[in-house]
Amino acid sequence: MVISFVGVGLIGGSAAITLRKRGFATRLIGVDNNPQHVEQALALGLVDEALPLDEAVKAADLVALAVPVNVARELLPRMLSLLKEDAVLVDMGSTKSGICAVARSHSKRAQYVASHPMAGTEYSGPTAAVDGLFDGKKAIVCEQNLSADFALNRALSMYHSLNMEVLFYTNAEAHDRHVAYVSHISHVSSFMLGLTVLEVEKSEKHILDLAGTGFESTVRLAKSSPVTWTPIFLQNAASVSHALEKYIENLQRFKVCIDEHSAEGITALIAEANKIEKIIK
C-alpha cells in the first residue's frame, strides 16, 4: 500500500517506521512544510521520497494527516478533494470536533476517518520518531458512521498493524470533553509546574540538585512543543477551560487544608485521589 504521511514528525514519522517494518506500507511518501523536516525524514529513512502536498495526496492509497490540529483543519478540505476515488484519508490529531465539523459537508466525507491515536512523547519532529510508539496503546475513531466501510477498514488495519486497540466515540464533542481531562489538563498542569519552579528557583543548580524522580515524571510533559499544543488548547478551549477551573478549585481546597493545618482534610483529599490506582495500574 502506498501511504503518504502529511507531517513527518513524532506521530507521522513513528507510524511510518512501524508500518514499513510490519509490511503494511510498500511505499512511503512524506510531506512537510518544514524543509529541514523533509531532509531529516529522508535521511532517517522514515519515508522513501518527499513530494509536494498535492502530488503526495493524489499518489496515495492511504493519506495519514499528522500535523498540528490547526493545520489539519485548514488542509483537510483541499486534501479530500484531491484524494483518489478509492483512497482513504485518516487524520491523527488530538482534537476531533473542529476537524469533523469541517469535513462534514464535504462530498468525499465517506473517504475520511477521524481518529486520535493516544500515544506520544514530549519530543517532536522527525528525529523524535521511534518504532513501537503506538504498541499496546489506544486509538479513538470518531463519527465512524460517516465513514464508508472500506475507509474505516483501511484505517483500522493501519491501527491494528500499529498494534493499537481501536475505540469508537461516535460523538466528536464527547471525545474532546474527555481528552480535556485525561490528556489536555495533564499538559497544562505540567507546563505550569515547570514554569512555577523556574520562576521561583532562579538558580538552575538548585533545581537540578533537588529534582527527585517524582518531579521529573510530573514535569516531563512541560517539554512539549507549543506548535503542537497551542492549537489543541484553542480548538478545545471550552472543555480545557472547564477542566482547569475544576482543577484549580481542587488545588485551592488542598491549599486551604494546608493553611488550616488540617491533617484530616489533607488525608481525606489524598485518600480520594488514591482511588485513581484502581484505574491506572
Of 62 and 140, which has the nearer Cβ to its own copies? 140
Of 127 and 183, CB closest to its own copies: 183
CA distance 242 to 258: 25
- 105 versus 200: smaller Cβ distance to its own copies: 200
CB of 63 to its own copies, least distance (A): 24
Bridge partners, residue 169, by sequence: 142
Least distance in angstroms from the C-beta of 269 to its own copies: 7
CB nearer to its own copies: give 78 or 223: 223
Closest distance of CB 158 from its own copies, Å: 19
Q: What's the min distance (Å) between Cβ of 9 and its own copies?
A: 16
Task: Report the nearest approach of its own copies to the CB of residue 185 (Å).
Answer: 7
- Hey, is 184 helix, strand or coil? helix
The DSSP element (H or E) to which 165 belongs, if any, is strand 165-169
C-alpha cell at 113: 476517518
Q: Closer to its own copies by CB, 145 or 203: give it.
A: 203
Closer Cβ to its own copies, 4 or 236, answer by number: 236
How far apart are the two ends of the chain, measured CA to CA in Å?
A: 37
- Residue 249 phi, psi (nearest 5): -60, -45
- In the complex, the smallest distance separating the C-beta of residue 42 from its own copies, rounded to whole angstroms, is 26
Contacts of 6 (CB under 8 A, 6+ apart): 12, 31, 32, 53, 56, 57, 63, 64, 65, 66, 67, 75, 79
Spatial distance between the Cα atoms of 244 and 240, rounded to a whole number of angstroms: 6
* The 112-118 sheet, strands edge to edge: 49-50, 27-31, 2-6, 62-65, 88-91, 112-118, 138-142, 165-169
